[in-house]
Chain A
Amino acid sequence: MSAYRLDYLDQLESEAIHILREVAGQFERPALLFSGGKDSITLVHLALKAFRPGKFPFPLVHIDTGHNFKEALDCRDQLAATLGEKLIVRNVGDTIKAKQLTEPKGKFASRNALQTYTLLDTIEEFKFDACIGGARRDEEKARAKERIFSVRDEFGQWDPKLQRPELWNTYNGRIHKGENVRVFPISNWTELDVWNYIRREKIELPSIYFSHDREVIEHEGQLVAVSEFIQLEASDKVLTKKVRYRTVGDMTCTAAVESKASNIDDIISEITATKTSERGETRIDDKVSEAAMEDRKKNGYF
């Protein structure tokens, strides 16, 4: 019977496809949140496996902070065009203007927290009842607690103490009008699983994941790209370094890592040997407090 044995990546893939199809089967107006990063690109690849030769039963939705890497945006547009799937983009800049929100100040003024406003507006505009996202439980300890079908109230809030029991592979997506469900098909994948899957499936990624020369400044041990979105001070030394990105978020809150890894094999070797977590190494926004992610999720963040 050993012929009927699945490799762990096949098991994770099958689980993710099952979850995506549950979304298609249970919701009327789902959406797939797509950023152009490796995790959401992986989700799109899984959706192809789940629904082809049919169309996706959901549009791709990007909440664009205006501070994104051009390479990620290009990859996003190109992928949506190649697949012939619908892409909806909503801009945080527009929300700031319409709602007269206050732009965050400071050297690395990040619109990351303001994304939530645009996301909630977009959910309301299109009456989305489920939003699929590429979050993983290994990323952060609040995420380690979250269900695969995570119910949010009409304000988008997560209540970690009142999560629905989630048993077997049976997902309960029933909600009241105005509520929505965030769905995380790759909850059980680790960073390394994603990379191994990308290698196996030969998935194309934005070039910033691979080693390249970039002008950066050093900030508390992290390398931040020089861009129009951060304010340089006289004391900042601009250096050109060989870097790559381990995650792709805003240019203001994502740090680069020094690396010569120019192909997937090298990246996997680096990640296997690393002693720093993905978010710890690359996210400037998680360090605010011990419960930074839990608090943001409670307020409607992904």
Chain B
Amino acid sequence: MDLLRFITAGSVDDGKSTLIGRLLYDSKSIMIDQLEAIERQSKNKDEGEIDLALLTDGLRAEREQGITIDVAYKYFSTPKRKFIIADAPGHIQYTRNMVTGASNADLAIILIDARNGVVEQTRRHSIITSLLNIPHIVVAINKMDLVDFSQDVYNNIVIDYAKVAQSLGLKNVTYIPLSALQGDNIVEKSDKLSWYEGPSLLHFLEEVEVQDTINLTEARFPVQYVIRPQTDALHDYRGYAGKIVSGVYKVGDAVTVQPAGIQSRIKAIEIAGKEVAEAFAPQSVVLHLEDNIDISRGDVIVNAAQPVKTAQELEVLLCWMDNKPLIPGNKYLLQINSRVVRSVVRNIEYKLDVNTLEKNEAPSQAVLNDVIKATIKTASPIPYDSYQALRANGGAILIDETSHVTVGACMIQ
């Protein structure tokens, strides 16, 4: 059994909560006591309807306002797969929360109301999906029951969305017509959509190949922690603990430790105390090198034949996440995996309109939820890959040195 992490973005109006509720309900992941609790709160309980949104909106403020503010994580499994849903808000004022939920997703479900077709929100969610480089997209054309399950309506939406996908360079887009409220095409294929030849949503989620979302060709290992027991028996033990974020490591491989550029070879690989001949992403391991060199947290051990870029000046697409504005010239800590360095945002090249993808004139400062193209200068060299090519080693966060808050997400170009 493997694991699929996916994000659903949207608001109550799109039927997002109904869709999630339906997946959880039909996969028998909602328990009786949880159903009773939402029944007690459902406003229309006299009409016998259950408000499935109450299941996903976990905070008092969300239930009171009937909106999703922050990402909630939900879990269900079928005999084929374990699923982790990042249930994210869809409104523009919560873009940063959607970005948070999207960062780890293998797949995004973009909800379209069949009555409305492709709208501004569809474009925004698709742009964020593309910025965060989510490998698979399902366009769920919902509320088909309200358009008489019309194939023409579906076809027109597919044609419209294909244009969006093309302009963003989105690959792996799958279209599924459904009705979350009535359960059509969610778990079982629906007779009412007999003209549709593809799989039901759940069937697709179970079968989609996500192994290809893990890069196995560029070996990257950020060192998290050095294990040195310094006991008599283990006097010379020096193991570099970390997670392989991409690629494969084998005993005997020539490696380079970046950013210092020191060469060595892998002497041994341990997984939970057992020696193995090779290990691969995303395993957590301990590496031992042939040479006794100075390596500490934040260094990256890469395969010498698969070099990493190293630079002090980075071009980034940056999503600003703080209530205080980003002022060019301000210093921030930049953290990429386990490496933290001081940095300064040099200049803003343009601001991206997340509804239209237009490049607008550079503002003097960026505010909450802005996505901008900027240049960042770091105090010491950063080993990195381009985010679009290798997500696991191309994303960095910015931290305000005075508030310690995470204020920005950088996708390195």
| Chain A positions near chain B (C-beta within 8 angstroms) | 1-2, 4-8, 10-15, 17-18, 21-22, 24-25, 48-55, 57, 137-138, 141-145, 160-161, 163-170, 172, 174-176, 187-188, 190, 192-193, 274-277, 280-281, 290-291, 294
* Count of residues in B whose CB is under 8 Å from the partner chain: 74
User: Taking each of B57, B73, B248, B284, which has the highest tally of chain A beta carbons within 10 Å of its own beta carbon?
Assistant: B284
Q: Which residues of B contact A193 (CB under 8 A)?
A: 82
Chain B nearest Cβ from A199, distance in angstroms: 14
Cα distance A148–B323 in the bound complex, in angstroms: 22
Min Cβ gap A130→B in Å is: 14
A17 engages B243 (CB within 8 Å): yes
A165 to B71, CA, bound (A): 10
Q: How far is the CA of A11 from the CA of B225 in the complex (A)?
A: 20
Query: A4-B216, A52-B272 are known contacts; what are 5 more A-B pairs with Cβ within 8 Å?
Result: A12-B3, A165-B100, A165-B409, A172-B406, A281-B33
Give the distance in Å from the alpha carbon of A285 to the alpha carbon of B367 in the complex. Answer: 43
**A11 near B282: Cβ-Cβ < 8 Å:** yes
B72–A145 CB distance below 8 A: yes
Return chain A residues, CB-CB under 8 Å to B405.
164, 172
Of B43-51, B135-143, B173-181, B331-339, the stretch lying at the interface with chain A is: B331-339
What chain A residues lie within 8 Å of B227 (beta carbons)?
51, 53-54
Indicate whether A167 sits within 8 Å of B211 (C-beta atoms), given known contacts A52-B273, A54-B229, A141-B72. no
A145 and B58 in contact, given A164-B405, A165-B409 (Cβ under 8 angstroms): yes
- CB-CB under 8 A from A10, the residues of chain B are 283
B224-262 at interface with A (beta carbon < 8 Å): 224-225, 227-229, 234, 237, 241-243, 245, 248
- Closest residue on chain A to residue B407 by CB atoms: A165
B157 contacts the other chain (Cβ, under 8 Å)? no
Q: How far is the CB of A200 from chain B (nearest CB, A)?
A: 12
Q: Is residue B32 contacting chain A, with contact meaning CB distance below 8 A?
A: yes
Contacts of B237 in A (CB 8 A): 53
Instruction: Determine whether B59 belongs to the interface, using a CB cutoff of 8 Å to chain A.
Output: yes
Q: Does B156 contact A (CB under 8 A)?
A: no
**Contact of B229 with A161 in the complex, beta carbons under 8 Å:** no
Inter-subunit contact B33/A276 (CB<8 Å): yes
Cross-chain contact A290 with B229 (CB below 8 angstroms): no
Q: A54-B227, A172-B406, A187-B73 are in contact. Are A167 and B2 (CB under 8 A)?
A: no
Chain B minimum-CB-distance residue to A142: B58
Complex Cα distance, B171 from A124, in Å, reads 52
Stretch of B114-122, B376-384, B392-400 on the interface side: B392-400
Minimum distance in angstroms from A254 CB to a CB of chain B: 15
Q: Nearest chain-A residue to B242 (Cβ)? A: A21
Contact partner of A138 among B75, B216, B228, CB < 8 A? B75
Least CB distance from A190 to B in Å reads 5
- Which of B81, B281, B335 has its CB near the most chain A CB atoms (within 10 A)? B335
Nearest-CB residue, chain A, relative to B233 = A53
Which chain A positions have C-beta within 8 A of B392? Answer: 168
Q: For residue B275, give the distance in angstroms from its CB to the closest CB of chain A.
A: 12
Residues of A within 8 A of B337 (CB): 169-170
B306 within 8 A of A: no
**A50 partner residues in chain B, CB cutoff 8 A:** 241, 284
Cross-chain contact A165 with B282 (CB below 8 angstroms): no
Q: Contact between A165 and B97 (Cβ–Cβ < 8 Å)?
A: yes
Question: Whole-angstrom distance between the alpha carbons of A169 and B243 in the complex?
Answer: 10
Complex CA–CA separation, A277 to B284 (angstroms): 31
> 27 pairs across A/B with beta carbons < 8 Å?
A8-B1, A8-B81, A11-B2, A11-B282, A14-B282, A17-B243, A24-B225, A25-B224, A49-B272, A49-B284, A53-B229, A53-B273, A138-B75, A141-B56, A141-B72, A145-B70, A168-B392, A168-B395, A169-B243, A170-B396, A172-B397, A172-B404, A187-B73, A193-B82, A276-B33, A281-B33, A290-B60
